[in-house]
Structure 1
Amino acid sequence: MARQLFVFVVHGPILTLVFGSAQAQHAALSRLECFYESKEYANTYLNLDAALRARICRGYEAFNLPIDAVSSWLKAMEDAQRDSSDQETTPWWHSFCNAEEIELLDTLFELESRPSYLISSLVHHADVALAHERLHALYHLSQAYRQLLASIWDDIPRNIRNTIEYDLKLRGYKEAVYQDEFGAYLGITTTPGTRRGDPVLEFGNKSTEVCRDVRKTLLHRIPDFWCTDVGIDEASMQLSTAFLQEAKESLASAHKPNHTASLVKGKDRRMKK
């Protein structure tokens, strides 16, 4: 019986995946995420056994990465596994991926459109998690947004910035993504009834007033960046309650991930927004 691991929707350059279980999401995306931006293993190919031993991306509730990273990862895989590749297998990388990765890669290769950025979350808190992940996509797609964050970051008083940097470091972020993460935490669009607290408190009481001013600026400017640089109305990317409910129901019957099982192709996972 085929397993449905995720549902997806494409908004312009952004591919959004919604998973039914943390295990399936981790199995599908952890090696890609690790290759893309891990502190220890960025641009290093880890085979399945090595990734398991390294305990990569533990506790992740959402993922984001440019889709170009998939091609780079596959090239690194090909170089590392060249001598052991089974030429009879089509495609060749099926021999070196788990079932969840194969399902993800098959989806990417079959898409009629060509999105350039991937974000994902678990279905039970997709509204909050995806709002954060979309801002990572914006950081990748909008130079103006990156420039605004760099300017804001430089203007933060040194003692407050030290506090924020220390907090981000404790969360495991590398310095290169501090501004991206700062914007994603403070620029998030919240809706009533979500589990998200007040974003201005994200980095503690000491930085609250600075964060309040930053958040006000970001909420004012971010919609324009989406429209001008990405060509999308930000509100159109928010998944509706009906979409998420349908996703919950369709994913609820999915089997638990089985990393050794052969993949049987399932029904189309595309859902209407």
Structure 2
Amino acid sequence: MPESIQNAILCFAHKQTLMEWLANEVYVTNLSVYTFANVFCSSAKNNNKLAIAYAHFLYHSLLKGYLSKREVDSLCNSLPLVDNYGCVTQRRKGVLLPANVSKWADLIVSNPWRNENYVELGNVYLNASSYAGQFTASEMLINFLTTHVGASDIPYISPPNAGFSAVNTPLTKDNAFLLLDWIRNLKYKGVHLPERFLKCIKDGSWLKVTINGYRPPSKSFLIRSPLGKILQSGSVLVDIPLIDESFYGDRINKYEEELKTIGVMSSCEDACNFIGRELMSRASSFTL
């Protein structure tokens, strides 16, 4: 029923009599906003336009106090979402922010969560829109979905059990720190790092070192003891692939634990073993 008619009924002196007549003769049903939302949800499951309208309805109902936060959170558990292909989906393990406003797309490029039942939100949620005379500014709806649906991004999203090709090539400084921040946040929350995810990071040649450009973390060093300065000075016979602090700056030293997690070696013993292996290899080649 249009809002203007509802307001007129509320102002009518005999509104109770009128409501009874409408119920008996026209089959008008009086619904709470929460009940109406559940009915709306059922209609929006297979229609992307209705699914978007329903998300706007929940946003404005919360904004105007027609629904409580608790009610909205409950309704959002079954909220139909429109993905980046324009398809409507209701069941999901997680929700990703749209690629063009995300950090995950900058770092990973393609979506490795696709096979793990994650929904990548469509760009339609970013647009300013009007529904039923109510205006929603751009990005307000995506903020609503972040809070109530759990739409997430790096460094807060759980990692996929999959590799990603971006780490097979050099990462920019910003993306390298984004990756390290992601690992730090996951470790802080006690989230297990999936085997395939961790292996691709350890073995990918994305980390800038002082020799030969970029190497895998599992073949790189970050040594902060006095030996590190000696190695950096080049006063040993073997070139050590040290993380290039002139590229990353002092900030890289704040990620010592995260670097160890992805295989970077940091002990003097590791460095000495590396030097020993290199010298033995050279000696063998000279003997031959």
Q: Which has the higher contact order (CA 8 A, sep 6+)?
A: 1
User: Shorter-chain TM-score: which interval?
Assistant: under 0.3
What is the TM-score of this pair, normalised by structure 2?
0.23
TM-score by length of 1: 0.24
